[in-house]
Amino acid sequence: MHDLIDEYLNFMLVEKGASQNTMDAYSRDLVRFARFLEGLGNPGFDEIRPQDVTSYLSFLHNSGLAANSMNRSLAAIRGFYKYLLREKKINRNPASQIELARVWMRLPDVLSQKEMADLLAQPGSKTPAGLRDSAMLELMYATGIRVSELIGLTINSINWHVGYLVASGKGEKQRIVPVGRMAYESVKRYLETARPVFLKGSDSNLLFLNRFGRGLTRQGFWKIVKTYAAKAGLSRKVHPHTFRHSFASHLLEGGADLRSVQIMLGHADISTTQIYTHVTREHLKEVHRRFHPRG
């Protein structure tokens, strides 16, 4: 079964263009499923019954796995058996009729516009690191890109004449996102004055560099965000994805249409973007409560 898993993952990479994160997650899920089946007496992959899959999901639930993680595991199993069916290695998909675990919608963490302004004011412009950090935070808030997209930007990712960037999202899908005046000026200032300091005469095409002239890591950016959130005196927990959530919510609060926000975020399904309308409704309720004479 492990050989078949390798075949499937190669199919996902080559033909489906799956991202490395998806590949890693599916690999872990399928290997864990294979080990579970070995504990059942190692039935052949073509002998798996629907009840074996449901038993595995019950095992995951009893192990304390969250519903989102269970659903991802089930998606990996479904995709694996769909591939085997396509390759005529099996006659039926034992996971095809099994429903996803119910996931209660969790509203994303969003900063208010004032909180975001306070956070963006923290890096300053007196040091190369401050210029770089300011440019990164401004760009994250202006475009809603993911951390992986931010650290993967090159100096050619931004069209300096028109003012937009090309982001490479999940599955290497590219999308165009407007940058905005303030972020544009901040990144331009970093590029002209601070980046050469980090580059130190070496050669790199990446836009944002660390003090060694190499690309930043997700963990490195996470530390930067936590540092400035603490300096801004924000009581709530702030993480890199908070910028993406705030970007979408503030656009919708300002009157942007959902479809445009979906395109800028790179969501394949608009239902994923709709979670931000719940945040906006909460904002509208608060406005009504504060300003209506009988609120």
103, part of any domain: no
143, part of any domain: yes
259 is catalytic: no
267 is catalytic: yes
Would you say residue 285 has pLDDT above 80? no
Distance CA 212, CA 190 (A): 16
**In which element (H, E) is residue 168 found?**
strand 164-168
Q: Residues 32, 78, 82, 170: which is the catalytic one?
A: 170
Instruction: Please tell me whether residues 73 and 117 are part of one structural domain.
Output: no
> Residues of the chain with pLDDT > 90: what percent?
47
CA distances from 107 to 119, 173, 242, 254, 290 (A): 21, 26, 12, 19, 22
Would you say residue 284 has pLDDT above 80? no
Given pLDDT bands bounded at 50, 70 and 90, which one contains residue 292?
low
Instruction: Please tell me whether residues 151 and 278 are part of one structural domain.
Output: yes
pLDDT, tens only, 14-30: 887 888 888 898 999 99
Task: Please state the pTM of the whole predicted model.
Answer: 0.66
17, part of any domain: yes
- Per the model's pLDDT, the better-predicted residue between 197 and 291 turns out to be 197
Q: Residues 56, 132, 141, 146: which is the catalytic one?
A: 146
108, part of any domain: no
Domains in the chain, number: 2
Distance CA 72, CA 127 (A): 43
72 is catalytic: no
Instruction: Please tell me whether residues 135 and 235 are part of one structural domain.
Output: yes
Instruction: Please tell me whether residues 183 and 247 are part of one structural domain.
Output: yes
245 is catalytic: no
Given pLDDT bands bounded at 50, 70 and 90, which one contains residue 102?
low
Q: Residues 72, 175, 195, 244: which is the catalytic one?
A: 244
Would you say residue 295 has pLDDT above 70? no
Instruction: Please tell me whether residues 224 and 176 are part of one structural domain.
Output: yes
- The one-letter amino acid at 7: E
Most confident of 48-57, 78-87, 276-285: 78-87
Instruction: Please tell me whether residues 71 and 140 are part of one structural domain.
Output: no
CB 246 within 8 A of CB 141: yes
Please identify, among 51, 86, 121, the residue that sits at the C-terminal boundary of a domain.
86
Spacing of C-alpha 156 from chain mean position: 22
- Per the model's pLDDT, the better-predicted residue between 40 and 50 turns out to be 50
* Angle in degrees, CA 232, 238, 242, rounded to 5: 120
CB 188 within 8 A of CB 139: no
Beta-bridge mates of residue 159: 164
Instruction: Please tell me whether residues 28 and 82 are part of one structural domain.
Output: yes
95, part of any domain: no
**CATH classification at residue 280:** 1.10.443.10
Instruction: Please tell me whether residues 129 and 266 are part of one structural domain.
Output: yes
Please identify, among 86, 121, 153, the residue that sits at the C-terminal boundary of a domain.
86
- Per the model's pLDDT, the better-predicted residue between 3 and 272 turns out to be 3
93, part of any domain: no
Q: Residues 32, 82, 188, 241: which is the catalytic one?
A: 241
Provide the residue range defining the domain that includes 48. 2-86
Distance CA 21, CA 19 (A): 5
Burial of 288 (0-12, 13-18, 19+ CB in 10 A): exposed
pLDDT, tens only, 205-230: 999 999 999 999 999 999 999 999 99
Instruction: Please tell me whether residues 240 and 170 are part of one structural domain.
Output: yes
pLDDT given at position 205: 93
Instruction: Please tell me whether residues 137 and 237 are part of one structural domain.
Output: yes
Instruction: Please tell me whether residues 41 and 129 are part of one structural domain.
Output: no
Instruction: Please tell me whether residues 61 and 197 are part of one structural domain.
Output: no
Q: Residues 81, 83, 190, 276: which is the catalytic one?
A: 276
pLDDT, tens only, 193-209: 999 999 987 889 999 99
What tokens appear for 233 in the block?
Answer: 């005196």
Helices (H), the chain: 2-14, 20-39, 50-62, 67-86, 113-120, 128-143, 147-151, 181-189, 195-199, 218-231, 240-253, 258-265, 270-273, 275-291
pLDDT given at position 107: 62
Task: Indicate the range of 55-69, 75-89, 240-254 predicted with least confidence.
Answer: 55-69
46, part of any domain: yes
CB 141 within 8 A of CB 186: no
